[in-house]
Amino acid sequence: MDVKTGSRDAGVSSKSQPFYGWRIVGLTTLAQLFAVGCTSYIFGIYVEPIAAEFDASRFVVTSGMAAILLSMTLIAPLLGHWLDKHSIRNTMAMGALLMGLGFACLSQATAIWQMGFVLISAIAVGAAMLGPLPSSKLVTNWFSARRGRALGISTLGTSLGGFILPPVVAWLIISIGWRGSFICLSLFILFVVLPLVFFTVFDKPRDKGLLVDGGAVGDLPQAVEDAAAQDVSISAILANPSFWGIGLCVGCLSSAGAILLTHFASYALEFDITLTGAAMVISFYSMMAMVGKLGFGYLADIYDKRVLLRIAITWNSLWWITFLNPHSLHVMIAGGAILGLGTGATMPLWNALVASCFGRMMFARAMGYMGLLVLPLTLIPMPLGGFIFDHTGSYFLVFQLALLLFPLAFIATFLIQIPQREPSG
């Protein structure tokens, strides 16, 4: 009787004001904006000034990006285990603290090796603790029926980081130098992002006396949740066909995206499309990816996520063909924009499928190990494209071979088995 009364009272209170879970979504959007934006998107802006400052080769400086990505991916399994059993809020706060202190240290670096050490030990680790994995875990805890649209909004942060931060950072470098820009990033993360995370993030709706989705069904009792969090082995995750199906599918799609973002500017020059024109194609691609995240995130709450993923894969494969015979810049812009719409499906559907197949209690661990599966498929196209160009004098074969990734991704979706009832849900 008491339990029922408590649930009913919580349901009433949750309806008297906007569901706090949407504030959680907003906070995770901000967290991913800085975690991803301050690593993946602004790195290239610093290459030239830092190379000039330390008289370092471009190879040495640009290796920092690969080191960041590798470091973030390698700690993901450990981070996944930690998040499934410990405070998400404290983890994200520690990540913001590490990033803030890391940028402060970068501003004082006197040698290129010092910058490399800080990037790997503070920036990469901090971004992993603040960014996509804990954010997705947090949103998964707060939402069930509306999880797809919540994840779609939350993952917008990764795209917004690429849209907002590069021009801001470029302006800061021109105005106060690259060291001053690092100090500005440090101060904003330490005095804005960190307090927001620490004082407003709650791991579960129950911590605020609320219910999942703001509806009538509450979380599991704490003892049951703790047992579920402890009672899952790595072998159980790896033995699930869905793990391989989702991972291979996402890996193939990420590989195609890496080819486009890494090699398209050089490839476009072969067809007399200027660098400015190529940048416009990538810009429209990125903007429409944000629309795709929102749209497919919303649809994931209504339709079979596997079907949506197959639609996105088929859509992308058909429009990828436009890159094999670029008639004009306008065709390329249209192709990039429509391709971005389908590419935007990847992140929200990835998170939503992992949540449906493994449940909230195993979500972070499954995502962490899946990152190791996706990593090589994302990294290989970067040097492989350069190798093919060195031997053929063209990137055309690279984009031809990339077309094979889509049928492989489509086949991988048939390994995904969504249980009728979400594990531990």
Residue-wise pLDDT for 78-134, tens only, equals 999 899 889 999 999 999 999 999 999 999 999 999 999 999 999 999 999 999 999
| Angstrom distance (rounded) from CA 235 to CA 411 | 24
* Cβ-contact 234, 243 below 8 angstroms: no
Residue 222: predicted pLDDT: 47
Residues 398-408: pLDDT tens digits? 899 999 999 99
The pLDDT of residue 326: 63
Q: How far apart are CA 424 and CA 364, in angstroms?
A: 14
Q: Whole-angstrom Cα distance, residue 307 to residue 329?
A: 32
Contact 173, 181 (CB under 8 A): yes
Q: Under a CB-based contact definition with an 8 Å cutoff, are residues 80 and 365 in contact?
A: yes
DSSP assignments along 194-233, one per residue: HHHHHHH--SSGGGGT--GGGSS-PPPPHHHHHHHHHS--
pLDDT at site 109 = 93
pLDDT band at 166 (very low <50, low <70, confident <90, very high): confident
| Res 343 pLDDT > 50 | yes
Say what the pLDDT of residue 237 is. Answer: 86
In the chain, what is the straight-line distance between the N-terminal and C-terminal CA atoms, in Å?
22
In this structure, what DSSP letter does residue 322 have? Answer: G
Of 33, 200, 201, the C-alpha closest to 132 is 33
Choice between 377 and 7, residue whose per-residue pLDDT is larger: 377
Q: Cα angle vertex 348, ends 40, 127, to 5°?
A: 30
Class of domain 228-415: mainly alpha
CB of 213 within 8 A of CB of 146?
yes
Separation CA 82–CA 231 (nearest Å)? 14
Instruction: State the Cα–Cα distance between residues 321 and 300, nearest whole angstrom.
Output: 27
- pLDDT of 207 over the 80 cut: yes
User: What is the predicted pLDDT for the residue at 88?
Assistant: 95
> Hey, is 125 helix, strand or coil?
helix
Using alpha carbons, list the distances in angstroms from residue 220 to 212, 237, 312, 353. 10, 21, 34, 21
Q: Return d(Cα 138, Cα 115) in angstroms, integer.
A: 31
Three-state DSSP state, 110: coil
The C-alpha angle with vertex 200 and arms to 129 and 90, in degrees rounded to 5, equals 35
pLDDT in tens, 219-278: 444 444 444 444 556 788 889 999 999 999 999 998 998 888 778 877 888 888 887 788
C-alpha to C-alpha distances, 117 to 22, 42, 79, 111, 365, nearest whole angstrom: 37, 18, 20, 10, 27
Structure tokens at 368: 């962490």
pLDDT digits (tens, 9 = 90+) for 173-187: 999 999 999 999 999
* One-letter amino acid of 369: Y
Domain ranges of the chain: 2-210, 228-415
Nearest-angstrom CA–CA distance, 211 and 204: 9
pTM, rounded to two decimals:
0.79
- What does the block give as tokens for 286? 């990125």
Closest CA to 246 of 424, 419, 367: 367
CATH class for the region spanning 2-210: mainly alpha
Helices 275-299 + 305-320 axis angle, to 10: 160
Do residues 209 and 10 lie in contact, with contact meaning Cβ atoms separated by under 8 Å?
Answer: yes
Q: Which residues have CB under 8 Å from 292's CB, separation 6+? A: 312, 340, 341, 342, 343, 344, 345
Q: How many Cβ atoms are within 10 Å of 373's Cβ, its own excluded?
A: 17
Count the Cβ atoms, other than its own, within 10 Å of residue 239: 10
